[in-house]
Structure 1
Amino acid sequence: MGALRAALGEAKAKGTFFFGGYALYLAFSYITFHSFTIFASVGALGPSSQTLFLAIVLASRFAVFVFVAVYSLRSPGPQTMVSVLVSCGVAFFGFLMCGMALQFSGEVDFSQVLPWLLFGGACLGAGDAVMVLMWARFCKTLTLRTVYRYVLVCNVISLVVYFCMTLLPPAAIVPATATVFVASSVCVKRSLDVRGRVGSEHSRPVMRSAAAQLWRPVLGTAVFCFMSGLMMQVSGKQELPLSTVQQTSIVTSAIVVSLLLLPAVLMKKPLSVARLYKVALPLSAAGFLLLPLLWNAAGGIVNAFAQLGSMVATIILWCMLADMARDTRLPSALVFSAALACTNAAQLLGVLVGFFSASRLTAGGLTLTVVALVSLYLLSMLSLFLFKDRDVASDEPAAPPTQVVVHEEQWFANRCEAIAREHQLTAREAEIFALLAQGRTVHGISEKLFVSENTVKSHIKSIYQKLGIHLRSQLIDLVNEEGALSSDAAGASGAPGSSGGVRRLS
């Protein structure tokens, strides 16, 4: 846990132990959804059964993410303990269904237990979605640099846990996986208790700004997820022995995660998002280029390339979502659910397209080669489009020189608080409103509050809408006019501190 403690330097050693629970969740995901190790007791499932199981899991995740995204627009969300109980309860039912189906698969026709197995997959997908949103809430409490290191370190640890799980007897896989899931849920509850819950606010301008900044990386990651689901079908991954799939997945994932972690440890600043996405681009494209040549050779390395491209893109997107939720104070459930619903829908579409098209995509076929080249071209064009640095334009021009009224500090704070309360400003909006009234620039507010300038601009738009104004000068006039009246009234009544309480700066 030393590496994890280093990545979370500001955390206490006592809490760091529970932070490692995210690695347990990742190990559960590898075992259940990526390599289907959970089905080792009955041998590798047939291609059709694997596809159906994965499709049900993805559809269940998508449904939960959509529901949570809509629900979080109206409610701050349930307490952590409620989420943990729901996640564990639904997942436990899924483990029970899968375990019973696998237990009776050797005694009855498999077609009779397949519906129960698929129902168990739906429950596991729903429990997984709730669990991942709880870890998202935890990641919101970390800075961008810290969450990047944290996610990568947990990925390394999860591969170790995953490897140890592959050494267990097949009959012990299901109960061991259930234990890992429950342990992760306990850890996320304790981790959130240690870090504390970050306040959330709803603001339409802020949500629109966040969507404008995130739609490109979400679209890019969705493309990678679509290709990942497609590759799993057309490359014939299901035809490989389970041990080969496990070994290839562990080795290639460990190499890629280590390469991503190395610069984050050595460099003072993490790599830019654009550069990291450029790592995922050739990885995913290489799988399509090598597919006509290698097919299932080299231990399924072709499929691994596409899977790793999706993995890198997903890691980067996770960090961006956590940083956006922290920066804007939007609910983490809303930010992550909306993005993950898109990526899961894309992967589900890729799985279905690949499954129904696999018969026409044969090794060495012309169609397969065309798909490979066209995919590479589309990825190249996508990279040029997605990674242009764009800024959210501000509707407000640079603040012109204006007269700012400076009142006594306590009076000024009270006036700003009263105006904010009257117009129902959120806590963050009230904070920015007071700084605007002082004449601070967007850049100055950004530095003082440790948030991006785009986030400040979005809050300013919301403030202007609630106040019914359009310019900074109108905001200052609003405070000055009410302040002057209050000071005059105080002076007329002989209130203490009424004289000299206002002075005008130009």
Structure 2
Amino acid sequence: MERFKTSEGLTPLASGYLWMCAAVFAVLRISGSAVNIVFYASVAQDFGAAREIATLLGAAMYLVYALIARRRPRALNALVITVFTVALFLAFGVLIVVAVRFDLLIAFVAALFLRTMASASLVVIFAFCLLRLESFAQVAAVIAFGYLANYLLTPLVYAVPSPVLTAVWIAAAGIACAAFCGHFAQDGIGRVSSAQPVDDLELADPWAFLKPTHALFVCVFLFHTATGFAITFNEVGNAPVQIGAEGFAIVLVALYLVFVKGDRQEDTLFSFAALLVSAGLLVAPLAIATGQTTATPNTLIRFGGDCFTVLLWLVIAGVGRRNLFGMLPVLGFALACGSVGTTVGAVSGHAANAFVLGDPVDAMAVCLSLAFGFFAFLWVGFRSFSFSDTINGVRELSQVAANAQVEQVLESDEPQADVIAQRCAALAEEHGLTPRETEIFEMLARGRNGRFIMDHFVISRNTAKSHIKHVYSKLDVHSQQDLIDLVQ
């Protein structure tokens, strides 16, 4: 598929690289399961909100990376992020040893918070590694392998004799993954850090980026709210209900994506995920009403949530392949929304569990409220929403806009400058541009970026954005490169 071609400037690697990426994703999945089973379950009695606070801390980390990419990309450095990630994993392992040795709850909780931050940073550099895969099928294969490994190996977590050994392998695996991802993410992060801030690029190429208010992020919040509910609802010993069939089922879904060709596979997967989550949210209150303790709602919701996670990674990879500079903001905002949603869902699950012991009617009300909110947003707010269109709607960033030195375009060639001015004046008159729009039109035609226009005319970002939008609309173009091609 065209939208999953390798990002320009990032060289695809041999097949062994694919399996290394798959191993990294597997480590992320398995270590997350191990932390839930071993660590959060053990601190729940003394600090029940530890997991939710850690999840919100992860949301903050993702948001920080997204904001840096949008406003100060030069602060991004693959080596710095890698060292930071390694240090966090190392500190996690050391603090767990200290916590167990001296029975310190505060050290235990601090270690879990550091692991959350380390995982968030690892996810960021892992995303850049995915962009070096050659195809849609390879991305799906990486995700499938991660889920299969999580299904097969998570039961072994119970066989580890002590939390110290669990912490050691999580820290060691995390450090190894960070070293691998940091090396292969250098090119991608380097290109992003050498470019203009996304906020400036977006002014001249608004269709190359997803806005923070895009419906995608609301959808991520909703699905993760349901997943968070499934994690805590009916939990046993403060640990999530263990379910098995989803592991193989999610692999079948990924294989479908690999072998079944079509232009709207993403929307098919989204519909399937929504149906599963909806079924789980409806089964939960029925189980409470009949007094049965069953893992069926957890299985349905988590399977649907996992399908959505596969879809989300495909969207992130698809957006990154079309516009490398827009991937990190999408990744950061999406996973931040997901982390907040997971927290909201987990709190709802805890509330339902508490109400079951007291008044089951209140527990049913919690489940039905979640179900109603999910249905209302998806079937009313998302009837016209399309994941396929979301990916295809991201236009490739023009080379003029992507050039970090575009603001230094020289105008020493006066004859050429006169030709551009005359051509712009003629087109402006033909398409009914105002005098100010004509001035901005000429600036864009000369390769000036949004920041230069703001500073030159001493106008706000919103004013510059409005003028550029009007210019593009009247000229019927969608990017600065289209505009330059029109003038030439």
TM-score (ref. length: structure 2): 0.69
User: How well do the aligned residues superpose, as a CA RMSD in angstroms?
Assistant: 4.0
Contact in 1 for aligned 2:122/2:178 (Cα 8 Å): yes
Aligned to 1:156: 148
Matched, 1:372 2:390: no
Instruction: Measure the CA separation in 1 of the matches of 2:485 and 2:141.
Output: 46
Distance in 1, matches of 2:279 and 2:30, equals 26
* Pairing 1:388–2:384 present: yes
Q: Which residue pairs with 2:448 in the alignment?
A: 424
Indicate the percent of aligned positions where both proteins have the same amino acid. 15
Q: Within 2, Cα distance between the matches of 1:467 and 1:377? A: 43
Q: Deviations over 1:30-73 (max 9, x none)?
A: 222xx32346xxxx426445742212211211221222222222
Corresponding letter in the other structure for 1:54: R
Map 1:228-267 to 2 at 5 A. 228-233=227-232, 235-239=233-237, 245-246=241-242, 248=243, 251-267=244-260
Matches within 5 A, 1:105-504: 105=103, 113-142=104-133, 143-171=135-163, 172-192=165-185, 202=198, 203-205=201-203, 206=205, 210-211=209-210, 215-233=214-232, 235-239=233-237, 245-246=241-242, 248=243, 251-269=244-262, 272-294=265-287, 300-355=295-350, 358-362=353-357, 365-384=360-379, 385-389=381-385, 422-424=446-448, 470-471=474-475, 479=487
Asked whether 1:71 is paired with 2:64, we answer: no
The alignment's TM-score, normalised by the length of structure 1, stands at: 0.67
- In structure 1, the residue matched to 2:453 is none
CA 1:290–1:78: 2 relative to 1, 3 Å: same
Residues 77 and 189 of structure 2 are in contact (CA less than 8 Å); yes or no, is this contact kept in structure 1?
no
Return the letter of the residue paired with 2:25: Y
Separation in structure 2 between the aligned mates of residue 101 and residue 15 of structure 1, nearest angstrom: 37
Counterpart of 1:45 in structure 2 is 42
Secondary structure of the residue aligned to 2:160 is coil
Report the CA distance shift for 1:359/1:164 in structure 2 as closer, same or farther (over 3 A). Answer: closer
SS in 1 for 2:250: helix
User: Aligned to 1:12, which of 7, 11, 14?
Assistant: 14
Tell me if structure 2 keeps the 8 A contact 1:153–1:261. Answer: no
Partner Cα separation in structure 1 for residue 317 and residue 158 of structure 2: 31
Amino acid at match of 1:218: F
Cα distance, 1:465–1:302 mapped onto 2, change above 3 Å: closer
SS at match of 2:214: helix
5+ residue gaps, structure 1: 1-8, 106-112, 395-410, 427-460, 481-506
CA distance in 2, matches of 1:231, 1:362: 18
Distance 1:298 1:191 in 2: 47
Change (3 A) 1:305 1:389: closer
| Aligned partner of residue 223 in structure 1, secondary structure | helix
**How many angstroms does 1:386 deviate by?**
1.8
Distance 1:86 1:466 in 2: 44
TM superposition shift of 1:86? 0.1
- The equivalent position to 1:54 in structure 2, one of 29, 45, 51, is 51
Number of residue equivalences: 400
1:100 matched to 2:95? The reply is no
Alpha-carbon distance between aligned partners in 1 of 2:280 and 2:156, rounded to the nearest angstrom: 28
Structure 2 residue runs without a partner (length 5+): 1-10, 394-414, 421-441, 451-464
Q: CA deviation at 1:85?
A: 0.8
Q: Which amino acid aligns with 1:388?
A: S
State the 1:101 CA deviation: 1.8
Answer with 1 or 2: which has the greater Rg.
1
Secondary structure, aligned partner of 1:211 = coil
SS at match of 2:384: coil
Whole-angstrom CA distance in 2 between matches of 1:161 and 1:186: 23
Per the TM alignment, residue 131 of structure 1 is displaced from its structure 2 partner at its CA by 0.7
CA apart distance, 1:193: 5.8
The SS at the match of 1:423 is: coil
> 1:373-409, CA deviations, whole angstroms, 9 ceiling, x for partnerless residues?
4433433333323252466999xxxxxxxxxxxxxxx
Aligned partners of 1:24 and 1:183 also within 8 Å: no
Match for 1:148: what amino acid? A
Per the alignment, in what secondary structure is the counterpart of residue 45 of structure 1? helix
Q: Partners of 2:366 and 2:218 in 1: how far apart? A: 20
Give the conservation status (yes or no) of the 8 Å contact 1:23–1:157. yes
Residues of 2 paired with 1:262 and 1:341: CA distance?
28
The change in CA–CA distance for 1:280 and 1:468 in structure 2 (over 3 A counts) is: closer
Q: State the match for 1:498 in structure 2.
A: none
Inter-partner Cα distance in structure 2 for 1:270 and 1:145: 14
Q: Is the 8 A contact 1:264 1:271 kept in 2?
A: no
Amino acid at match of 1:368: A
Cα distance, 1:151–1:207 mapped onto 2, change above 3 Å: farther
Matched-pair contact (CA < 8 Å) for 1:101–1:116: yes
Worse-superposed segment, 370-379 or 77-86: 370-379
Name the CA shift for 1:467/1:277 in 2 (closer, same or farther; >3 Å).
Answer: closer
